[in-house]
Amino acid sequence: MSATTPHWPQVRLHVVTGKGGTGKSTVAAALALGLASHGRNVLLCEVEGRQGIARMFDVDPLPYAERRIATGLPREGERTAGSVHALHVDPEAALLEYLSMYYKLGRAGRALDRFGVTEFATTIAPGVRDVLLTGKVYEAVERNSRNRGALRYDAVVLDAPPTGRIARFLNVSGELAGLAKVGPIKSQADTMMTLFRSPRTAVHLVTVLEEMPVQETADGIAELRAARLPVGGVVVNQVRSRDIAEADLVSVRDGSLDREAIEHDLAAAGLDVTKTLVDGLLAQARDHADRRALEDAQREVVAGLGVPTYELPRIPAEIDLGALYALAAELREQGLA
């Protein structure tokens, strides 16, 4: 982790974004498990329609309803932990809830949906779609008397759209500027922005140690700051183990490894030593050394971004609940959760 000491305890909304393929959904799920400690309840939301949460936690596809899916990561010496609930947000259901909550339309709202009004509105004005999606997340953070009886959460984790779209997705007020200058939707968007731009929100960016994802992370941080949205931490995911000493990697790269010593060690291990075997091992070693050099260069770039950084190990097997708990423990130990 970087030397910067953030104030995550005051954050109620953790937004997790990242370039496709970096594992942002995995990180969001692990963060939710890590935060659900000390008896805290956490809501994990997704808005992209992929049902990724259901697959990771091995539960049935999520409806538009909050559902308990896991127990949080308990702390050592504590008997109880909080719970992780999940919510799959879709714009159609969000619009119907919005009409029911603010306009008491109820059945009339459902009739509008049958006529395709939701699809029409979100197609001609994509900004409205984002207001509906983020509006439900906002409601979960700011539970009040309008939603009596609903569970209140200590934290909400949003598995958000990719880095290239995150500033536009959260900057709902700006996206609606040319569409609605007054009215209830514009008012709701402005109200949501007070939360999204406050210290109670943090936008965390997930990357891997490759040039394109790291560059997109840097660009995303710049866009978030330009939109006055609070940048959280950078989570470097899928970090390879560092089992080979740096001096040995240098020897691999400059070709100074002792071939005879390698052959001797292979023979001592009971292997049939051939030129093909040794040449193949040396080629793999060079590939690994080159990869490590590239990763170290990108790690320096990440360190220069000026935000707290965290690292998660590469998980060789498929991500399951056990792997999520292991990653949650890493995030908690490093101070993000």
Please check whether residues 210 and 263 belong to one and the same domain.
Answer: no
Query: What would the DSSP string read from start to end of 31-91?
Result: HHHHHS-TT--EEEEE-SSS-HHHHHHT-PPP-SS-EEEEE--PPTT-S---EEEEEE--H
Q: Does 98 reside within a domain?
A: yes
Examine the domain organization and report whether 120 and 263 are in the same domain.
Answer: no
Q: Tell me which range, 14-28, 80-94, 256-270, is most confidently predicted by mean pLDDT.
A: 14-28
223 and 187 inside one domain: yes
Q: What are the pLDDT digits (tens) for 32-48? A: 999 998 788 999 999 88
- 3 part of a folded domain: no
Q: Are 137 and 284 contained in the same domain?
A: no
User: Each residue of 60-101: pLDDT tens digit?
Assistant: 988 888 999 999 887 776 667 799 999 998 766 666 666 555
* Contact status, residue 44 vs residue 28, Cβ threshold 8 Å: yes
Strands, E, within the chain: which ranges? Answer: 13-18, 42-46, 67-71, 83-88, 155-159, 201-207, 231-239, 309-313
Mean pLDDT over residues 165-187, rounded?
Answer: 71
- Give the tens place of pLDDT for each residue, 297-308: 999 999 999 999
Nearest to 60 by CA among 88, 37, 33: 88
Average pLDDT over the chain, rounded to whole? Answer: 84
81/132 same-domain check: yes
137 and 193 together in one domain: yes
> Where residue 310 sits, what CATH number does that domain have?
3.40.50.300
Q: 34 and 138, same structural domain?
A: yes
Residue 80 is assigned to a structural domain of this protein: yes
Placement of tokens 């008012």 in the chain: 187
Which is it for strands 42-46 and 83-88: parallel, antiparallel or unpaired? parallel
| Predicted model pTM | 0.84
Task: Name the least confident of 1-15, 176-190, 223-237, 277-291.
Answer: 176-190
CB 167 within 8 A of CB 23: no
Q: Are residues 131 and 266 in the same domain?
A: no
For residue 255, give its domain range. 246-289
Is the confidence at residue 112, as pLDDT, over 60?
no
Mean pLDDT for the stretch of residues 189-217: 94
* 18 and 136 co-located in one domain: yes
Residues 85, 89, 93, 97, Cα dihedral to 10°: 60
Residues 210 and 82 in one domain: yes
Check whether residue 275 and residue 324 sit in a common domain: no
Residues 303 and 318 reside in one and the same domain:
yes
The number of folded domains in the chain is: 2
Distance CA 289, CA 282 (A): 10
pLDDT tier for residue 105 given thresholds of 50, 70 and 90: very low
Region of poorest pLDDT, from 20-24, 61-65, 108-112, 161-165: 108-112
What average pLDDT score do residues 212-238 get?
A: 97
- Residue 121 located in a structural domain: yes
List the structure tokens of 254. Answer: 């400059």
182 has a pLDDT exceeding 70: no
Q: Does residue 2 lie in a domain region?
A: no
Which residues lie closer than 8 Å to 176 by C-beta, 6 or more apart?
127, 128, 131, 185, 186, 189
In a domain, 87, yes or no: yes
User: Chain centroid to CA 145: how far?
Assistant: 30
